[in-house]
Amino acid sequence: MSKARELADIFADANTANELAKLDGSAKLTDAVFPATLPAIDGSNLTGVAETKPTISSISPDTIDNTEATITVTGANFVSIPKVEVLNPSTGIWYDATSVTFNNSTSLTVVITLSVDAQYKIRIENPNGLAVLSGTILTVSDAPTWVTGASLGSFAGDFSGTLATLSATSDSAVTYSETTSVLSGANITLNSTTGALTTTDFGGASTTATTYTFTIRATDAESQTADRTFTISSTFGATGGGQFN
Amino acid sequence: MATYLTRTPNSSGSNTTWTFSCWYKKTSIGLDTVPFATGYTSPQIDEAMINIGADDQLRFNIAINDVTDVTVKSARKLRDTSGFYHIVVACDTTQATASDRIKIYFNGELETNLSNTDYPTQNQSTFFGDTNKTQEIGRQPRSSNYLFGVMSHVHFTDGTAYQASDFGQYDANGVWKIKTSPSVTYGTNGFFILKDGGSVTDQSGNGNNWTVSGGTLTDTLDCSANVFATWNSLSGSASNTYSNGNTTVSYPNNFQRNANGTLAFNSGKYYGEFKRTGAANLHIGIVGNTFLEDGRIITDTGESHTYNMRGHTGCVTLITNTGDQSIFVDGSDSSTDVDFFTSAGDIVMVAFDADTKKIWFGKNGTWSSSGNPATGANPSYTYSGTATSDFTFGADTENGSSCNANFGNGYFGTTAVASAGTNASGNGIFEYDVPTGYTALSTKGLNL
């Protein structure tokens, strides 16, 4: 076999010039034992051919809903501008990204809309044809949707009991948390599981009519969130009337 | 003629289904009063009304051709003249069960103890949806039965029967309190008037405004959330005449008759203003437990000072006269005078510190002898007599004199204060400056 034929066979089994392996499967050759400058077919030197496959290390966010989403893919060896597809392994259907922005060799910005809730793989193929397919790395599921309206109405100051029960729906269990710091001042307790707003003395020490504005975050099992700002007012009775003389 | 309100609907409403809700403070017992009514006399006398009869029981009546056809009457007697009742009457004659057609609520509780249960027949008209009948608040059509007292937050929903809990709710202490903005549908002829004052302009958004007739309707701060003292028609002399929501008291004959406040206190500092009209010898001051606990005060008819402030134990009182300026204490002249005489039309100021038992009298904005209730300086008198608790303001009137008390509701009779003074307590409206540390005698004032 000519030397050129031998080298061609070696390249066929290697990803990079630095991973050249012998045809018999023995240890790969390293820079230390394999010269960076390869012999030419005619016996003179060849310039090294070094092609590199892309890799994916993470995406953000890793959970999106069915609306158009923008995802940042972090990895290595991205070449402008790669093709990005996602695969639903349970159906075998591939979806193309709406747009891909090459930020640099380690970062892509991908816009995609996926209408089917599932776990997805991402495939990135550089223009040179080298590609990578991730494991299931992207979750598509429904984000919480608020059912309870923003205005919770008015309640008598010093009221004791359940003021309202907040409700948001999703395709998994929803929990509730306050993103503001208002409820404690109104002497209201939020049940993170049920969404119930309860009090033993609405308004606490306040004796004047007050409107409390606060934001509650609904979070589902996939950590998807939806915020809603609510208002609830305390009343401390009438301030007068008409005297029939 | 007493005050009442009228409105004639322009559009037909529901004759079967409605709710009336109001907060009502009575001024007397044993008097037929009418919170809400409708009716006409031609071609025949047909009327419906919610009234509180001379038996002090609330009922819903329908009369057809002047013959009573429906009477649903509560067995409960409404005899409290010191506070507000929340009254709700819900009607839905479409209900199959008779007892579901009329429901009466007092202070949030559905009344189940009824002394009359002549319910409307199913789908019977109650006339409240008719366009040709004048609705009245405060008077029974074609009669002299009026209302008197104070009404606040009056709602009528046309087409929907609500529960009391749609207009009120319990607080943490189990007290039934008003919902100032109830979530109700008012319907075509629904309305919301007397919201936080004497305005008869509809606040429901319907524009169903009312008209004041007969007398005067004045603003008052007196309401369910802050009940102000008035003269107590139940504990003062039965010979007195009370008017203007029991803020005015008069007595036509010789020898004074007493009236005292509906709210009392054992501690704290309270301020009041009292204007005399008519004859002299109006007495103004403070009475306490040893005066109030003497039941003879109510029933006395003899011409004697024995049973009034001037001649009875348990009080400190100033005689208002152009020739007498004496302070009487526990039934005797204390030999202590104020530095002013008093004429009709003058406003007597009284400040009483129940903790130190110091009392200050003043006239028309000036305290006697440079007194200063705020600092405790120069009281008109320091009381150490028999009364030790349950203090309240008191007045004796005689010979047609009247005492118009401003306990903080901002009026002397039907006349508003000319220029309100300062009031650091934020409770009450007075003609002159309220001394720092003092407040109006009201439920809010008692808790400051």
Nearest chain B Cα to A200, which residue?
B172
A236 to chain B: nearest residue by CA? B225
Q: How far apart are CA B94 and CA B125, in angstroms?
A: 10
Q: pLDDT class for B207, splitting at 50, 70, 90?
A: very high
> Is pLDDT at B52 greater than 50 in this prediction?
yes
**DSSP string covering B173-194:** TS-EEE-SS------TT-EEE-
Q: How confident is the model at residue B159 (pLDDT cuts 50, 70, 90)?
A: very high
Closest listed residue to residue A166, CA positions, set A185, A187, A186, A147: A147
**Side-by-side strand order, sheet with B67-77:** B114-118, B67-77, B57-64, B46-52, B33-40, B134-137, B4-7, B211-213
> Given CB atoms, is A205 within the 8 Å cutoff of chain B?
no
pTM for the structure as a whole: 0.74
- Which residues 158-177 on chain A approach chain B with CB closer than 8 angstroms? 158-160
Chain B residues touching residue A201 (CB < 8 angstroms): 172
CB of B221 less than 8 A from some CB of A: yes
Chain B residues closer than 8 Å to A157 by CB:
171, 177
pLDDT at B398: 79
Residue numbers in A near B4 (CB within 8 A)? 244
Note whether A239 contacts B169, CB cutoff 8 Å.
Answer: no
Q: Check if A236 contacts B (Cβ < 8 Å).
A: yes
B170 touches chain A (CB under 8 A): yes
Rounded to an integer, what distance in angstroms lies between the CA atom of residue A16 and that of residue A30? 11
Please indicate if any CB of chain A lies within 8 Å of the CB of B406.
no
Q: What is the pLDDT of residues B219-273, one digit of tens each?
A: 999 999 899 999 999 887 778 899 999 999 998 877 778 899 999 999 999 999 9
Residues of A in contact with B146 (CB under 8 A): 244
Percent of the residues in chain B that have a pLDDT greater than 70, as a whole number: 99
pLDDT band for position B275 (50/70/90)?
Answer: very high
B23 CA: distance to closest CA in chain A (Å): 9
Cβ burial of B406 (10 Å; 0-12, 13-18, 19+) is buried
Residue window 109-138, chain B: list those with CB within 8 Å of chain A: 138
Note whether B223 contacts A159, CB cutoff 8 Å.
no
Please indicate if any CB of chain A lies within 8 Å of the CB of B1: no
d(CA B167, CA B376): 45
pLDDT digits (tens, 9 = 90+) for B78-116: 999 999 999 999 999 999 999 999 999 999 999 999 999
- What single letter denotes the amino acid at residue B221? L
The pLDDT score that the predictor gives to residue A14 is 47
The verdict on a CB contact (< 8 Å) between B177 and A237 is yes
Chain B closest CA to A241's CA: distance in Å? Answer: 4
pLDDT of residue A50: 62
Instruction: Kindly state whether A240 is in contact with chain B, defined as any CB-CB distance less than 8 angstroms.
Output: yes
Instruction: Find the mean pLDDT for residues B302-331.
Output: 87
CA B369/CA B325 separation, integer angstroms: 13
Query: How many residue pairs from chains A and B have C-beta atoms closer than 8 A?
Result: 130
pLDDT confidence band for B210 (50 / 70 / 90): very high
Q: Averaged in consecutive runs of 10 residues, what is the pLDDT profile of chain A (245 residues)? A: 48 47 48 48 52 93 93 97 97 97 98 95 97 96 93 84 94 95 96 96 84 96 93 87 93
Does the interface ipTM go beyond 0.90?
A: yes
Q: A5-19, A204-218, B179-193, B341-355: which range is least confident on average? A: A5-19
Instruction: Assess A146–B contact: CB distance below 8 Å, yes or no.
Output: no
